[in-house]
Amino acid sequence: MKKRFLMSAVCAAAVSLCAIASAHAQGGAADAAPIPQLQFRLVEDFYRYPPNSVVGRSTGVAINPKNGNIVTLNRGYRPVNEMKADGSYVRSWGEGSPMFAGAHVVRFDPQGNLWYVDAGDNIVFRFDTEGRTTGTLGTNPEPWTWLTHVIERAAPGRAALYQPTDIAWSKDGSSFVADGYGNSRVAKFDKDGNFVKGWGERGAQPGNFNTPHSIVIDHNELVYVADRGNNRIQVFDTEGNRKAVWNLPTAPWALCLTNGPEPVMFVGSVGKVYKMDLTGKILGAFGRPGRMPGTIDSVHQIACPDEKTLYLAHTYAGRFDKWIAQ
């Protein structure tokens, strides 16, 4: 009887240890400190769209480094909209174009060119400061070519993108594409748009990805990839050598680095926005889930000019917000 009791106690202790080990493996250790709450508030009615504007799924928001104007992207009738820094309306474009069916994100490069990532058409477009198309990455299959000079179902080349999600740039002008839903890799192109290399494939091991959904590069040339399906951020150098893996309590949808010599990272997720330093430490978070003003939906892209100002694109809520630190 005494022996049976002792064995029961040992088993209970083993189960307890296994539970603690499991919690640590999932990034949810029982003794983990609570995440500080950031004090941000919504700026109500900031974006002044024309009356009766219907916004589709909201996927992108970016700030022009040259004039401070805000560009938003959605999958509605007016896909691209531009506002001044005070939220007043400037213009829209792209009406009626089929190229915005898979609208994913927009970003400005350091030279002020606007880049548009089309996940549905497997192309990344570059526009100059006047809105003219000046280059593309990737290509889309044209149905009529299957009848002439393309082998049907042939394996695509390494330079072909498959539902890309985001783009970032290094100091030498190279482009890094999160090649996202389909290939689950990072694709690197030189400044002339030539494919250089790719790294990663679908999987959960370090160095692999399950939907790399957002990508940013800091001033030290470190590449941060939101590995959404694996609930982590992975850090690489510009040659694809892995430097760190940050496990998160949630799926990272959107990454943004603030400007200045000591940037921090904001991470958009479902129902919450996190603030992190560049060692992987979570500094705080804010938000509660919802699809009405004052709540946080699935944050598809963030623009963060500084630590106290955030612009959010809420996918399913069809809404763009400005939030400021209190």
Answer whether residue 14 is part of any domain: no
Give me the pLDDT at residue 145, please.
65
State the virtual CA torsion across 181, 184, 188, 192 in degrees, nearest 10: -30
Predicted structure pTM score: 0.88
State the virtual CA torsion across 156, 158, 161, 167 in degrees, nearest 10: 180
Give me the pLDDT at residue 218, please.
98
Answer whether residue 20 is part of any domain: no
* Domain count across the chain: 1
User: b/e for 231-240, b at 16 or more Cβ within 10 A?
Assistant: bbbbbbebeb
Answer whether residue 307 is part of any domain: yes
Give the chain's residues under pLDDT 50.
1-31
Give me the pLDDT at residue 144, please.
64
Give me the pLDDT at residue 12, please.
42
Residue 6 CB neighbour total at 10 angstroms: 10
Return the CATH number at 266.
2.120.10.30
Give me the pLDDT at residue 7, please.
40
Answer whether residue 2 is part of any domain: no
Give me the pLDDT at residue 130, please.
80
Q: Could you write out the three-class secondary structure of the chain?
A: CHHHHHHHHHHHHHHHHHHHHHHHHCCCCCCCCCCCECCEEECCCCCECCCCCCCCCEEEEEECCCCCCEEEEECCCCCEEEECCCCEEEEEECCCCHHHCCEEEEEECCCCCEEEEECCCCEEEEECCCCCEEEEEECCCCHHHHHCCCCCCCCCCCCCCCCEEEEEECCCCCEEEEECCCCCEEEEECCCCCEEEEECCECCCCCCECCEEEEEECCCCCEEEEEHHHCEEEEECCCCCEEEEEECCCCCCEEEECCCCCCCEEEECECCEEEECCCCCEEEEECCECCCCCCECEEEEEEEEECCEEEEEECCCCEEEEEEEC
Give me the pLDDT at residue 266, please.
98
Answer whether residue 192 is part of any domain: yes
Cα–Cα distances in angstroms (integers) from residue 48 to residues 44, 81, 86, 89, 115, in the given order = 11, 11, 9, 6, 24
Query: 170: domain range?
Result: 39-325
